[in-house]
């Protein structure tokens, strides 16, 4: 049996594998370390759809002459899932009232849902809520999916567009102690929500760079490797959230002004500078 990956002879020597399922399981484990996933399958020049794949798992390899495997990078697969999600949103909006009820359960079994549940659980939860008649609503969910897609397709541009948000939230964090002291609770809550959103965005872009093979281990935030910087950032963030939940206004103010504001700006700047250097 000849095994080809993306049209090229893979040169794979089988060991104990006797069925298609056993071969696919071994290849999935190997692909996981390359940043790619299996995205298509053809047996004896017959394309096997995702819906009928299970029927071929027990097929004996002695009956197969050629096994063609197609792979895609993880960012490519996530982008495809986001495109499909936006089509799903259109379908949901066009559905009759009676059809909307079971929509979330059906969607949960789709290939895009399974990938998003693994790679973007927060977005997956928002989709489930929206398709259950709660959450953001179709338009809000579409905007969220479009933002995630921009982060995948143009991470540098998306970070550049976030510059004003980062500057603004850092200023708000510096003002947070005074807001708390003067009873501006609604503004303080808004500041925390904006900070959480922009910090998550920076982390998402960082993860996109890792998936694409960007040498993130070479990024320095000040005099610290970015991985250590992120660990320290997360530790202080957890301390800030605990203080916020415990209504420790003094500690919240100090951490926000003197720790989180400069660290958020430092992380954002380090990632932007690294991407700019790579382009040069």
For 235-242, what is the mean pLDDT? 92
For 222-239, what is the mean pLDDT? 92
Task: Please report which confidence band the pLDDT of residue 33 belongs to, taking 50, 70 and 90 as the band edges.
Answer: low
Is the pLDDT confidence value at 130 over 80? yes
Is the pLDDT confidence value at 258 over 90? yes
Q: What is the mean pLDDT of the chain?
A: 88
Print the SS3 string covering the chain: CEEEECCEECCCCCCCCCEHHHHHHHHHHHHHCCCEEEEEEEECCEEECHHHHHHHCCCEHHHCCEEEEEEEEHHHHHHHHHHHHHHHHHHHHHCCHHHHCCHHHHHHCCHHHHHHHHHCHHHHHHHHHHHCCCCCHHHHHHHHHHHHHHHHHCHHHHHHHCHHHHHHHHHHHHHHHHHHHCCCHHHHHHHHHHHHHHHHHHHHHHHHHHHCCCCHHHCEECCEEHHHHHHHHHHHHHHHHHHHHCCCHHHHHHHHHHHHHHHHHHHHHHHHHHHHHHHC
What pLDDT shows up at residue 146? 96
Is the pLDDT confidence value at 198 over 80? yes
The Cα 140–Cα 191 span in angstroms is 21
| pLDDT tens-digit map of 5-14 | 888 887 777 7
């Amino acid at each position: 049996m000849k095994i080809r990956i993306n049209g090229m002879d893979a040169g794979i020597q089988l060991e104990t594998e006797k069925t298609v399922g056993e071969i696919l399981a071994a290849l999935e484990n190997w692909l996981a370390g390359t940043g790619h996933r299996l995205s298509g399958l053809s047996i004896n020049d017959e394309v096997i759809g995702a819906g009928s794949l299970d029927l071929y798992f027990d097929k004996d390899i002695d009956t197969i002459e050629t096994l063609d495997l197609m792979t895609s990078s993880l960012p490519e697969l996530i982008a495809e899932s986001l495109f499909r999600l936006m089509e799903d949103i259109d379908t949901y909006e066009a559905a009759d009232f009676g059809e909307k009820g079971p929509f979330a359960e059906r969607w949960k079994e789709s290939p895009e849902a399974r990938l998003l549940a693994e790679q973007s659980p927060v977005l997956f939860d928002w989709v489930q809520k929206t398709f259950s008649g709660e959450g953001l609503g179709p338009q809000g969910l579409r905007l969220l999916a479009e933002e995630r897609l921009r982060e995948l397709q143009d991470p540098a541009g998306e970070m550049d567009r976030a510059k004003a948000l980062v500057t603004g939230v850092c200023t708000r964090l510096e003002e947070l102690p005074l807001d708390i002291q003067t009873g501006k609770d609604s503004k303080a809550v808004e500041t925390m929500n904006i900070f959480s959103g922009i910090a998550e965005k920076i982390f998402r872009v960082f993860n996109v760079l890792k998936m694409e093979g960007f040498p993130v281990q070479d990024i320095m935030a000040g005099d610290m490797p970015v991985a250590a910087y992120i660990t320290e950032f997360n530790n202080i963030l957890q301390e800030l959230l605990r203080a916020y939940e415990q209504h420790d206004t003094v500690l919240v103010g100090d951490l926000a002004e003197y720790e989180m504001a400069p660290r958020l700006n430092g992380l954002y700047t380090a990632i932007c500078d690294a991407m700019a250097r790579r382009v040069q």
